[in-house]
């Protein structure tokens, strides 16, 4: 939306303005659509090739009616050729496809994988949860984790976190880092439907979803479970077990995560709070809300924000942290753009909404 305003000053600004040419593979899906919405508003990005699989040859407008400015753009096939010649290539593809494509794009191209291929460090975990051979591990696109930002500076490869581990890991990381809790996390995340993508499955029909809540991947079956454990164990410096349950709720976007762990000692609410405020005080996209205010996913819709609130349950001896994000923005496409900004040494917040669209 910004361009019109800038045009008027182009002659004075253009000389100091670098422009990054970006391609999006998987442009017709929800993650790809959100990515394009953000890139259209990014002052330093020029949108290049838009590619997909079965929809190649159609116009983007047929798939992303909300992206008017790109309605007439042709969707090309996802190949090394169509993706060549870009500074940045975003891969919003089913897992298993990224490694080959990345290999052919060359090491000077910034490749940002929104899929799962390069998130896990442990090959055995990969094979157990996803099957097939592990494609290797790339720098992890969650700069708010300890050391996360540094790992992304100047990198040419980024693995964007899963939508669930984003909120859940940030919800508990400070507590584990400070040794406030025992290494047994119990996490329940209520999610909107867009996380499941556009796949035509009966349980994703509007008639089935509206007015209904349902759990899935229960008992540790969800593929994000090892990613949670990897993140929290790294922060804790020892193995952390994670019981994770996702719950599908009748909303298109948003994840509300309730993350709890047993208190290691008798930390006061005040002490816990100061740990979190210290951990995130300088983070532009993480907000520890004022006491008494609880996060809502609505407040994060379309924004790159993580809204957090903490509580100490003295009776149950547990820390309870609630985190709200937009699964498509901070949970996917926003994290990708944020990682791109860091990798390219652009101001980290460039082109990323800090305000939600509510109500």
Contact set for a second copy, span 125-184 (CB under 8 A): 184
Instruction: Please tell me whether residue 300 binds a second copy under the rule CB under 8 A.
Output: yes
Binding span for a second copy by CB under 8 A among 83-91, 96-104, 107-115, 314-322: 314-322
Q: How far is the CB of 192 from a second copy (least distance, A)?
A: 8
Residue 190 to residue 324: CA distance in whole angstroms: 10
Residues numbered 10 to 49 that lie near a second copy (CB under 8 A) are 12-13, 16-17, 30, 33, 37, 40-44
Contacts of 341 by beta carbon, 8 Å cutoff, 6+ apart: 347, 348, 349, 350, 351, 352
Pick from 302, 335, 339, 343 the residue near a second copy by CB under 8 A: 302
Q: Is residue 201 within the footprint of a second copy (CB under 8 A)?
A: yes
Candidates 116, 170, 324, 333: give the one binding a second copy (CB under 8 A).
Answer: 324
Q: Angle, to 10 degrees, between the axis of helix 269-280 and the axis of helix 163-177?
A: 120
CA 252 to chain CA centroid, Å, is: 16
- The least CB distance from residue 293 to a second copy, in Å, is 7
Residue 20 CA to its chain's centroid (Å): 21
- Which residues in 70-99 contact a second copy (CB under 8 A)? 71
284 exposed, middle or buried (CB, 10 Å; 0-12, 13-18, 19+)?
A: middle
217: region left, alpha or beta (phi > 0 left; psi from -120 to 50 alpha) = left
Please identify which residue in 166, 245, 332, 339 interacts with a second copy, judged by CB under 8 A: 245
Three-state SS at 338: helix
| 303 scored as a contact of a second copy (CB under 8 A) | yes
Least CB distance to a second copy at residue 287 (A): 6
Give yes or no: 163 in active site.
yes
Cα 160 to Cα 135, 323, 332: the distances in Å are: 15, 19, 7
Q: Report which DSSP code applies to 297.
A: G
- Applying CB under 8 A, the site for a second copy has a residue count of 114
Q: Taking the complex as a whole, how short is the minimal distance between the CB of residue 69 and a second copy, in angstroms?
A: 6
Q: Among residues 111 and 152, whose Cβ is nearest to a second copy? A: 152
Residues 46-65 that bind a second copy (CB under 8 A): 61-62, 64-65
Q: What are phi and psi of 291, to 5 degrees?
A: -50, 140
Least separation in angstroms between residue 96's CB and a second copy is: 23
Nearer of residues 30 and 176 to a second copy, judged by Cβ: 30
Could you tell me whether strands 184-191 and 88-91 are parallel, antiparallel, or unpaired per DSSP bridges? unpaired
User: Which 250-279 positions form the footprint of a second copy (CB under 8 A)?
Assistant: 250-254, 256, 258, 260, 262
The reply on whether position 1 binds a second copy by CB under 8 A is: yes
Alpha-carbon torsion (226, 242, 289, 34), positive or negative? positive
Q: Which stretch binds a second copy (CB under 8 A): 49-57, 98-106, 133-141, 351-359?
A: 351-359
Could you say which of 36, 83, 163, 323 is catalytic?
163
Which helix or strand (DSSP H or E) is residue 261 part of? Answer: strand 255-262
End-to-end CA distance of the chain: 21
Q: What is the DSSP string of 263-285?
A: BSS---HHHHHHHHHHHHTT-TT
Taken in order 357, 295, 169, 284, is the CA torsion positive or negative?
A: positive
Select from 26, 139, 192, 331 the one that contacts a second copy (CB under 8 A): 192
Draw the binding track, 210-229, toward a second copy (x: CB under 8 A; -: no contact).
xxxxxxx-xxxx---x----
**What positions carry a catalytic annotation?**
163
């Amino acid at each position: 939306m910004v361009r019109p305003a800038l045009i008027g000053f182009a002659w004075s600004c253009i000389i100091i303005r670098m422009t990054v040419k970006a391609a999006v593979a998987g442009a017709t899906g929800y993650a790809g659509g959100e990515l394009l919405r953000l890139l259209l508003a990014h002052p330093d990005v020029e949108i290049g090739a838009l590619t997909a699989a079965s929809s190649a040859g159609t116009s983007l407008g047929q798939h992303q009616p909300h992206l008017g400015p790109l309605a007439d753009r042709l969707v090309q096939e996802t190949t090394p050729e169509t993706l060549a010649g870009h500074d940045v290539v975003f891969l919003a593809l089913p897992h298993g496809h990224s490694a080959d494509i990345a290999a052919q794009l060359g090491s000077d191209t910034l490749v940002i994988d929104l899929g799962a291929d390069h998130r896990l460090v442990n090959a055995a975990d990969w094979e157990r949860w996803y099957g097939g051979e592990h494609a290797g591990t790339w720098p992890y696109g969650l700069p708010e984790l300890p050391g996360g930002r540094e790992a992304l500076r100047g990198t040419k490869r980024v693995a964007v976190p899963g939508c669930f581990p984003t909120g859940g890991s940030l919800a508990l990381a400070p507590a584990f880092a400070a040794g406030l809790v025992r290494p047994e996390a119990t996490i329940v995340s209520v999610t909107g439907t867009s996380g499941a993508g556009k796949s035509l499955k009966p349980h994703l029909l509007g008639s089935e979803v509206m007015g209904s809540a349902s759990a899935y991947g229960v008992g540790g079956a969800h593929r994000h479970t090892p990613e949670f454990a990897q993140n929290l164990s790294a922060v804790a410096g020892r193995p952390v077990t994670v019981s994770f349950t996702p719950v599908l709720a009748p909303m298109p976007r948003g994840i509300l995560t309730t993350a709890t762990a047993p208190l290691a000692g008798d930390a006061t609410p005040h002490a816990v709070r100061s740990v979190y405020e210290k951990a995130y005080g300088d983070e532009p996209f993480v907000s520890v809300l004022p006491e008494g205010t609880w996060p809502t996913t609505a407040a994060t819709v379309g924004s790159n924000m993580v809204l957090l609130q903490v509580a100490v349950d003295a009776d149950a001896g547990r820390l309870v942290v609630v985190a709200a994000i937009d699964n498509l923005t901070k949970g996917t496409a926003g994290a990708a753009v944020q990682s791109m900004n860091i990798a390219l040494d652009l101001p980290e917040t460039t082109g990323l909404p800090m305000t939600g669209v509510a109500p």
